[in-house]
Amino acid sequence: MLRLENVSSGYGNILALKGISLDINAGEIITLIGANGAGKSTTLMTISGVVKTRTGKIFFKDREIQKAEPDDIVKSGLCQVPEGRHIFPMLTVQENLDMGAFLRNDKAEIKKDLDYVYSLFPILAQRRNQDGGTLSGGEQQMLALSRALMARPEVLLLDEPSMGLAPLIIKQIFEIIKQINKDNNTTIFLVEQNANQALQIADRAYVIENGKITLSGQASDLLTNEEVQKAYLGI
């Protein structure tokens, strides 16, 4: 579904990704874990076309996308929920969701997806006329996730959805991510510092250190891997 081959990218003189390769099959939940500054967000931004590649290729459904524009990439079925949520604070919950469906014109299907996201997050239905900026942190994360779902993506890129949230809300968000994957067979690429929770819901995982992939395997194996436990799970 999605494949990176020897991808390097960065900012000015900084090379943040130094030749990473990874592959994601349709319907999988894959997580990328790593410390602060390891290159997790840059990986997602590079896939989304916001940060341009310097070397390597990115294939989405067998099409090379490393030179495509971000809106073209979204249209083709790949949608990112950025770190820090970035919802529209002055727009209502409903208007934020409408923006998620901006590139679509299949009205009946949009209505179905709207009912679906409101069923996933009933709190958003209750607050549909409230401005996005007045929602709690957890509600804003739910809205950011829901807005991405309104684009009906085949692949969802999630950048640290647990950041800054209370443990109970984190648990709820991770459960919903799993449910989205199950309900729609949506492929999920999850970037997380919360390695423990991410590895619990993922099928496979990659570890990134200093812009390079240093380890990969079944998520269940990484959970019991001593190096991973020491470096990322605080065990």
Measure Cα distances from 190 to 75, 100, 156 in Å.
20, 19, 8
Backbone angles phi, psi at 190, to 5 degrees: -110, 120
Q: Does 217 bind ligand ATP (CB under 6 A)?
A: no
Across the beta sheet with 187-192, what order do the strands follow?
78-81, 155-159, 187-192, 29-33, 204-209, 212-218
Q: Does 11 bind ligand ATP (CB under 6 A)?
A: yes
The answer to whether 156 and 147 are in contact (CB under 8 A) is no
Q: Does 164 bind ligand ATP (CB under 6 A)?
A: no
Tokens of 71: 């809106």
Q: Does 8 bind ligand ATP (CB under 6 A)?
A: no
Q: Does 42 bind ligand ATP (CB under 6 A)?
A: yes
Q: How far apart are CA 34 and CA 136, in angstroms?
A: 27
Instruction: Pick between residue 42 and residue 186 the one whose CB is nearest to ligand ATP.
Output: 42
Binding-site member from 6, 25, 26, 37 for ligand ATP (CB under 6 A): 37
Shortest Cβ 213–ligand ATP spacing (Å): 12
Tokens of 207: 């570890």
Stretch that binds ligand ATP, among 38-46, 52-60, 145-153, 171-179 (CB under 6 A): 38-46
Q: Does 161 bind ligand ATP (CB under 6 A)?
A: no
Residue type, 104: R
Q: How far apart are CA 5 and CA 161, in angstroms?
A: 26
Binding-site member from 38, 79, 195, 231 for ligand ATP (CB under 6 A): 38
Q: Does 14 bind ligand ATP (CB under 6 A)?
A: yes
Interacting residue ranges for ligand ATP, rule: CB under 6 A = 11, 14, 16, 34, 36-42, 193
